[in-house]
Structure 1
């Protein structure tokens, strides 16, 4: 028996659900409505349209065979009717009707449904800020606004820009403004780090160093209090300074569009997201919802989570399309895997960061590995930095993050762990993770395997050390403490520091340590350093064997410290 399906929202989840359902039930009817004129586009591609990597906005709407996904395309190619510039005003669940209004004419009418899909998405979070209505103050709410931003830039009147918010969109937009257009850009973040809630503080410091190396100023723990200008933005005022700006991008996160569901009496969580079951049904069995407007289970914490990610909306759309046709497909939840491009670096993660794990009540530790992404003898290779977050007593892996100039190589490793996170893997699972091997692609003992080994050694108390933040504090206070730094590399690597800091920096190569135990300096604390933390760990074991338990190994070594931004 044919059905009438109505879908509210036509960007990501809506079109996927509509097309999947029509393939399964071609005799049923589907109507999609959306407030905007532009529909079915890749929103995650907006920063690359702004930057010029994507030259035409229509490319974000195009299929792989270069057809624009507009209402005509959906009608003719998919058998789906689309009403653009149409706003849903009210859901009558008892009668299964939705009152809609044409945005341009104000005309109202009622649409019937057998099944309803809420694909209402999210909207940029707005903060009550004086001056936010000035010209050239934008959010990144959709492709139409992205076109206006790019038009503003191409007029040549933007020399300085401020991005408020250092999440994914904020950093990607900052790169877009700087890289191609050469706009002097400042990022302001109220939290104490970039990418708050997504990466650890140490990983965020490395991201900030990448931004700094590309001439972007990042101001953390700073609050914007006012935007001023004579009709058009001229100045952004924070609680610490004034910054000149010709353009402002507000990127302070998103919030779910759930008002329509709430007014209809559907269950909505305290966070404002629509509550759905594993079949993506709302509290009304005739209404489905997915994408940025819903809350699903965080498969690491077991608690409700909010994951406004485009890839997830598309996968959920397929589940809903199947179930509209009578299927029983499920979407169990997510671990929150992500990857973003920051200039020539990729930043990626899955699960919980160290700080997030602590907030969720886990007693967590973390381990760092700095290693080439390919075999060390292969001529073309990049360093990959990985940080594993682990539950201390059980060894359960809670999350993984990384940074590398080879983003594809990094993403592959993050994905390898992300897919097993729901099964609650331990460090031993990471140590023994089977990965395809060939020198042009990785090492025989992959960086992930070594990361598992490192985490195990830290858990068992064999590898006792410090991360870059702790090293920075020790280094800054080195003259006030009884601490010495023992360089476990060859003398050629250590020479510069021996000459600069003869009172604090010493050198005994790890391979000759056993023969030179008498030369090991006396101090309350000896900090062991090498390039990546491996040789210094071996030195720690040797010194411990001879009764010296006052050592700290620098996790990730000098390469991690340099990436973190420490200038010794």
Structure 2
């Protein structure tokens, strides 16, 4: 029997659910209702439209074969009715009716057999003076994107302040600073950018990469007000006043769950709509997904909120299948992400160390730096990875990475993301199979090396010190007891030994056995090499010779340098 399906929200989830369902039940009737004038667009492409990488805003609305996904397209190609600039105001679950209000103020009720809520999210706005001033945007929709692009291309913006150092904040900072050479400043409330997603090491790497391209950062600062009369003139924090012609607020998203809440549907702990593995709400005739729905975190098993366009598309297909009587399931997500930082990329999946500890795991992390291609291949770049592991079970909880060539780091993160839900242990990573050829990877891939390093740590063979630990000991000089033993070749290590004669000695790892007596007794040794491989070998050598307490710098000098530690 033909059904009448109503879908509220027509961006990612709604349009995907509608199209999937119509392929399965072409005789049924589908209507998408959306309060905006635009539907079915790639919202994650907004920063790249502002930057000029995407030249036409309508490219974000087109299919891969260049057809504009507008009302005519959905009607002619998909046999789906579209009602734009129409607000869904109330769900009458008892009578299976949806109350709507059109742009002209007229109201109506629409009957449904099944209903889909793809109401998305709204950008969070700080409760501070000045948020409603002209030239304050959130970059949350195509209208914002068009407005920002227009004022920038007209030369009306010399100084921009971005509030929030998360995904959209960083991408918008790059967009303004790169193509348009706008003096761009990012203000972040937490003590690092991308808080909760990556460690402070990766935050410093990404920040340093963007600073090299002219973006300014102020972390651990609270925005108190936005100043201006007819337009924005400045952003005031608890530490300074920043002049600005443009302000972009990127401080997170809030699920649009009021329609569901008012209808008596259950709302989850995250404030998003509670759904089961079939993406049904607590009403079996109503589905929800995308930015308005709560799903399980497959690593922690706890309720989670992941407002990601890629996830909304996959959920849309599940809902479309189930509307037609299918039994598709969406188990949850591990929370994979990637952010472009000019030529480099910052990516991750699962938990960072701080989020793992916060979730109650007894966790540790290991870090590895290695070339992303074979060392003899001319086109290569350094990649940095961190693995988060539960100590007792050896279970992998998450991975983060930063790479000078973004495709390489994203490929490694995606590999781990694909099996995180299986609760893998570190031996899975040590032996994971990847396609190998020198232009693409190393024979012993960095993922294998990362798994091996984690095994060595868990088995007590490896005693590391991370960047933060090294920086602390270096700045305090370890109460005069610490000594850096540089295991690199003379041409690399000797200049440091000469610069810091009381704190640094250079003995190449392959000479350590013969020159062991040159190491001053009674010192706390910190072993360092270029990437951490030789210093680990040196640690084993020293243990064999009776020294059990030296620590090895994770990722070596390349990591210290990439994190901005000035030696």
TM-score range, shorter chain: over 0.9
Q: Which residue of 1 aligns with 2:234?
A: 235
Distance 1:436 1:57 in 2: 37
Who is 2:309 aligned against?
Answer: 310
Deviations 1:516-560 (A, max 9, x none): 111122243111010000100000111111111231100000001
CA distance in 2, matches of 1:404, 1:37: 39
- The corresponding residue for 2:148 is 149
Partners in 2 of 1:214 and 1:466 — Cα distance? 30
What are structure 1's unaligned runs of at least 5 residues? none
Q: Deviations over 1:141-182 (max 9, x none)?
A: 201111011111112121000000011000000110100000
Verify the 8 A CA contact 1:524 1:550 in the aligned structure 2.
Answer: no
SS of residue paired to 1:419: helix
Q: Is 1:62 the equivalent of 2:62?
A: yes
Q: Distance in 2 between matches of 1:78 and 1:361?
A: 48
Name the SS for the 1:272 alignment partner: coil
Q: Give the ranges of 4+ consecutive aligned residues of structure 1 lying more than 3 Å apart after TM superposition.
A: none
Deviation at 1:477, TM superposition (A): 1.0
Cα offset, 1:4, TM superposition:
0.2
Q: Matched residues in 2 for 1:254 and 1:366: separation?
A: 29
* Residues 487 and 529 in structure 2, CA contact (< 8 A), matched pair in contact too: yes
Q: Deviations over 1:203-255 (max 9, x none)?
A: 11211111221111111110000111121000110001100000000000001
Partners of 2:462 and 2:536 within 8 A in 1: yes
2: distance between equivalents of 1:141 and 1:436?
Answer: 38
Aligned-residue RMSD, C-alpha: 0.9
Report if the CA contact (8 A) 1:345-1:407 is conserved: yes
Matches within 5 A, 1:222-371: 222-371=221-370
**Counterpart position of 2:6:** 6
Question: Could you say which residue in structure 2 is the equivalent of 1:546?
Answer: 545
Aligned residue number for residue 383 of structure 1: 382
Does residue 470 of structure 1 match 2:469? Answer: yes
Contact 2:281 2:288 in 1 (8 A): yes
Mapped partners of 1:422, 1:482: distance in 2? 45
CA contact (8 A) 1:483 1:523 kept: no
Instruction: Report deviation, 1:479.
Output: 7.0
Matches within 5 A, 1:11-30: 11-30=11-30
- Alignment check: 8 A CA contact 1:484 1:523 kept: no
SS across alignment from 1:144: helix
Task: Indicate the residue corresponding to 2:42 in structure 1.
Answer: 42
SS of the residue corresponding to residue 7 of structure 1 reads strand
Deviations 1:71-96 (A, max 9, x none): 01000000000000000000000000
Query: Hey, what's the Cα distance between the residues in 2 that align with 1:201 and 1:332?
Result: 31
Please state whether the residue corresponding to 2:232 is helix, strand or coil.
Answer: coil
C-alpha deviation, 1:16, in angstroms: 0.3
Provide the TM-score with structure 1 as the length reference. Answer: 0.99
Partner of 2:261, secondary structure, is helix
Q: Does 2:88 match 1:81?
A: no
Q: Secondary structure at the match of 2:175?
A: helix
What secondary structure sits across from 2:99 in the alignment? strand
Distance 1:192 1:158 in 2: 28
Aligned length, in residue pairs: 567
- Cα drift, residue 437 of structure 1: 1.2
Contact 1:164/1:252 (8 A) holds in 2: yes
Paired residue secondary structure (1:110): strand
Three-state SS of the structure 2 residue aligned to 1:109 is strand
Whole-angstrom distance in 2 between the partners of 1:201 and 1:490: 30
Identify the residue that residue 200 of structure 2 maps to in structure 1.
201
Say whether residues 1:71 and 2:71 are aligned partners. Answer: yes
Counterpart in the other structure of 2:99: 99
CA distance in 1, matches of 2:112, 2:547: 75
Indicate conservation of the 8 Å contact 1:211/1:218, yes or no: no
Higher alpha-carbon deviation: 381-390 or 492-501? 492-501
Separation (CA, whole Å) in 2 of partners of 1:3 and 1:129 = 47
Unaligned runs of 5+ in 2: none
Shift in Å, 1:495? 2.4
Distance in structure 2 (CA, Å) of the matches to 1:431 and 1:44? 34
SS of match in other structure, 2:515? helix
Match of 2:527 in 1: 528
- What is the rounded CA distance, in whole Å, between the counterparts of 1:472 and 1:187 in structure 2? 25
Give the conservation status (yes or no) of the 8 Å contact 2:507–2:515.
yes
Mapped to 2, the partners of 1:297 and 1:74 lie a distance apart of 32
Q: Is the 8 A contact 1:389 1:400 kept in 2?
A: yes
What is the TM-score normalised by the length of structure 2? Answer: 0.99
Q: Distance in 1 between matches of 2:416 and 2:229?
A: 52
